[in-house]
Structure 1
């Protein structure tokens, strides 16, 4: 599932390519036909993101709300675009560029005030200028759920996925099974500050970079074109720092990765 930095990069890209001009919107697949008709031809005012949610704001107060889920993706192409290939839920065509959306969990038209209802269900987004981690800390310190589960809970912090969760806990040497009630404020503040910095790098570079330069050695990344990681998807391989075998387990239906020596 794309993590928060991906949605913020998409918002910036769509703002740059479609902003302040009319956009033609269609649904080649047909599942978003009514929604696309409601915004097609309107001026695309701006794009914004909160966590894993993307919002396209059109004139007149209508907003296209997208959540990519596990399989959703946008593909970009210059105009004129080729004929749609596969199940294209939404096609947007501007003056110079177009984009196709496939496989999202959510693609719907809402009104501007409804954004507040969606955001109210989410935790703070580390990538927003007004991000405040204090509300996340309040929830964490009151919960006996493992910190590894709390970091993935979008109502606690919006935008964190499995890669950031695994790598952040490793960087701060925190056992993913430690209850939230046993995380002290100094530890949380350090993690929050680090998370903000890491996700900003993700927005700039277009990929997650979590390994410190002094630890960037050993076996390559876990797959072609994938980022190098400390523990994420490295189960059975040696820890880059201490050499202990990286472990994996399922925590609340998601695969967890950690080093049992570094993260005691």
Structure 2
């Protein structure tokens, strides 16, 4: 399932390539035909992410709400350009399609395509699939291309197209309904990184007997954290994942919030969930090219802890895999 950084990056791509354009909205598979008809032919006026959910606004006051869930993915095609805020953070973008190779002295492409926005590059006709588990890029020869697979909704401008497949949620909402959805979500550091947001997170955590590992995955407590960031944040804090939220020291809870903000910004800027600090240039480039070299504990069960050498443990908690060090996080 895409974590918060991925959804923010996708929202920024919509802001760069679709906002301000009149959009033809259709449902090639037919399951979203009624919803598509409500926003078809209108200008997209805003694109925003809140945690793992994305909201696209149209000039008739309606919003398209998307939650990709586990299986959802966007296919972008056409004259796609990189979001300038991401480009500025990463230097020159997308001068090669070869994953796992250096673009320049500052940018490395991930071998698994986790930071695949790098390979969009300057505007050109291309197809890019965006989801956490699957990213595919290839050149197209006609525009718009034929939909691939079961496309729930197609958004088509005069220069670009976005196809959505397999989302958990895809619905058209009015402003009051959007406000109601967002009100149920916990704070997102990219949207509200002030003291009030931090205090809201701290209060939510420290009043609950639920384990801190489960609370970090609760989107009503904090928006955007998934399995990877959950494991890495807890290790970076040297926090036992099973400690009830109300027993976690307040200073630790506050640092978890601030660290989530730091890691989320890195994820949005680089496209990768980089969670290791103080790497030398060679180690950094290695980590940026390969997930197994950029995490402290995630998917490292049975391997020695990078700090103490104790074997990392994996267990199921709340139906999800939890990775942690039983010594450093005792």
Task: Bin the TM-score by the shorter chain.
Answer: over 0.9
What TM-score comes out, normalization by structure 2 length? 0.75
The equivalent position to 2:321 in structure 1, one of 241, 250, 255, is 255
Gaps of 5+ in 1: none
- Structure 2 CA distance for partners of 1:226 and 1:95, relative to 1, 3 Å: farther
**Within the alignment, does 1:159 sit opposite 2:224 as a pair?**
yes
Count of residue pairs the alignment pairs up: 261
The corresponding residue for 1:27 is 27
The corresponding residue for 1:193 is 258
Residue 130 of structure 1 deviates from its aligned partner by: 5.2
CA–CA separation in structure 2 for the residues paired with 1:213 and 1:189: 22
Q: Deviations over 1:152-176 (max 9, x none)?
A: 0011001110111000000010010
Q: How does 1:170-189 map to 2 (within 5 A)?
A: 170-189=235-254
The corresponding residue for 1:39 is 39
The equivalent position to 1:229 in structure 2, one of 295, 302, 305, is 295
Calculate the aligned-residue CA RMSD, in Å.
1.9
CA contact (8 A) 1:123 1:155 kept: yes
The equivalent position to 1:89 in structure 2, one of 121, 142, 152, is 152
Gaps of 5+ in 2: 80-142
Residue 95 of structure 1 deviates from its aligned partner by: 2.1
What TM-score comes out, normalization by structure 1 length? 0.94
Residue 227 of structure 1 deviates from its aligned partner by: 6.7
CA contact (8 A) 1:5 1:200 kept: yes
**Within the alignment, does 1:243 sit opposite 2:306 as a pair?**
no
Tell me which of the two structures has the higher relative contact order, counting C-alpha pairs closer than 8 angstroms and 6 or more residues apart: 2
The 3-state SS of whatever aligns with 1:113 is helix
CA contact (8 A) 2:39 2:60 kept: no
CA–CA separation in structure 2 for the residues paired with 1:175 and 1:5: 25
CA contact (8 A) 2:201 2:257 kept: no
CA contact (8 A) 1:67 1:106 kept: yes
